[in-house]
Amino acid sequence: MVKVLTSPSRYVQGKNVLAEIGKYVKPLGDKALVVISKGGYSRNGQMVEKSFQEAGIEAVFEFFAGESSRDEVERLQKIVQEKGLNVSVGIGGGKALDTAKTVAHFESLPVAVCPTSAATDAPCTSFSVMYTEDGEFDEYVFFDRTSDLILMDTQVVANAPKRLFVAGMGDALATMFEARASVASGAKNLVGGLSTRAALGLTELCYEILMEEGRKALQAVEAGVLTEAVDQVIEASTYLSGVGAESSGLAAAHAVHNGMTALEETHDYLHGEKVAFGVITQLVLENAPQEELDEVLDFCMDIGLPVTLAELGVKEPDEAGLRNVAELAVAEGDTGHNEPFAVDADMYYAAIVAADKIGTDARAKRNA
């Protein structure tokens, strides 16, 4: 099997780089679809519009409807076709970026993504996650290339709500563990090849930065300042996690996340928050060493990530609901099978229930 590593064509990270977006987008096109939320436009719209004007780019701003769904993508495709736009730009969170990327894919356009938080590693992946209009996981849409430009404004990210910063660390927390499982199982990565050693190394560096810098970075964000620790965690949560995950593979943690979207109680919780619980579930499924499990639990509790189902809104979990989550985790085509041993829904159900108990006991011990 051929080994494949994929990454964005250009990754730009720094303070106040969003104010220069026009300069970076101009080589890609001069008639831009700009997917942005109403809130994002109120915060950054004038600055972005000015930069586009200075660069000679005609920008059509479209407010993101809230879900990266097929309906939303098709709505934006029609605008691209009607106005003859030649580049897709996403500004905002993971779902807005996935939507801009998917529009670019189906319309064969270059794409630039500008995250306003470090809540997920979506910017650096060559696929998008599609949801239904009700917020349930629908499907992955895979592209033939990654984004042409990632523009990561560290000041904007540091100013975003703390919860988003923490959720990004939750998503990135899974990267090394899922890569390890995928490589051990011989599973294909998300671009159809095997992992390179370089890609696996990125996932290991991602985890090292989270453990070393994550707590310090959160304290800086809480204090309202941008520090070197924040800068490193942004890179880990975005570039290292995104490229590492895509080029090494996903496994149980994201499969559990996908299954949990079927529980209505979890719909108000962020991707990375659900993935963090998925990491704990994966470690239980793999019967990981206690020391490793404790390190993950301590980190999650230190920075405010969920370690129990109750902390994800599932106050009274019932067996039927959790078994449905488990069935979805091992659905055909999902990543739940990328473990170094055969798995089934019963094993996932047991791991979810045990992870919840382990997390509940760990939380109670800390609060005692």
Q: pLDDT per position in the chain (368 positions), as tens?
A: 799 999 999 999 999 999 999 999 999 999 999 999 999 999 999 999 999 999 999 999 999 998 999 999 999 999 999 999 999 999 998 899 999 999 999 999 999 999 999 987 878 888 898 999 888 889 889 898 899 999 999 999 999 999 999 999 999 999 999 999 999 999 999 899 999 999 999 999 999 999 999 999 999 999 999 999 999 999 999 999 999 999 999 999 999 999 999 999 999 999 999 999 999 999 999 999 999 999 999 999 999 999 999 999 999 999 999 999 999 999 998 999 999 999 999 999 999 999 999 999 999 999 98
Q: State the catalytic residue, choosing from 171, 231, 334, 356.
A: 171
Is 337 annotated in the active site? no
Closest CA to 274 of 262, 286, 264, 260: 260
Query: Taking a C-beta distance cutoff of 8 angstroms, is the pair 12, 152 a contact?
Result: yes
The pair of structure tokens assigned to 13 is 């990270």
Catalytic position from the list 254, 334, 337, 356: 254
Assess contact for 246 and 224: CB atoms under 8 A.
Answer: no
Amino acid identity at 14:
G
Domains of the chain: 11-158 (3.40.50.1970), 162-367 (1.20.1090.10)
Q: H helices within the chain, ranges in order?
A: 21-25, 38-54, 70-83, 94-107, 154-159, 162-185, 197-223, 228-235, 241-248, 252-260, 271-285, 290-303, 319-329, 345-367
* pLDDT digits 0-9 by tens, 182-216: 999 999 998 999 999 999 999 999 999 999 999 99
Predicted confidence at residue 322, as pLDDT, reads 98
The answer to whether residue 171 is catalytic is: yes
Say whether 153 is catalytic.
Answer: no
Catalytic residue, candidates 257, 334, 337, 356: 257
Q: Could you tell me the CA-to-CA distances from 327 to 151, 344, 352, 355 in Å, in that order?
A: 38, 8, 12, 17
Tell me which residue of 89, 63, 84, 90 sits closest to 75, measured CA to CA.
63
Question: What is the token pair recorded at 180?
Answer: 């390890």
Catalytic residue among 148, 153, 231, 271: 271
Per the annotation, the verdict on 257 as an active-site residue is: yes
> Tell me: the pLDDT tens digits for 101-134?
999 999 999 999 999 999 878 788 888 989 998 8
Residues 325 and 259: beta-carbon distance below 8 Å: yes
Q: Work out the end-to-end distance of the chain between its first and last CA atoms, rounded to an integer number of angstroms.
A: 52
Residue 134 confidence (pLDDT): 85
Closest CA to 242 of 5, 1, 2: 5
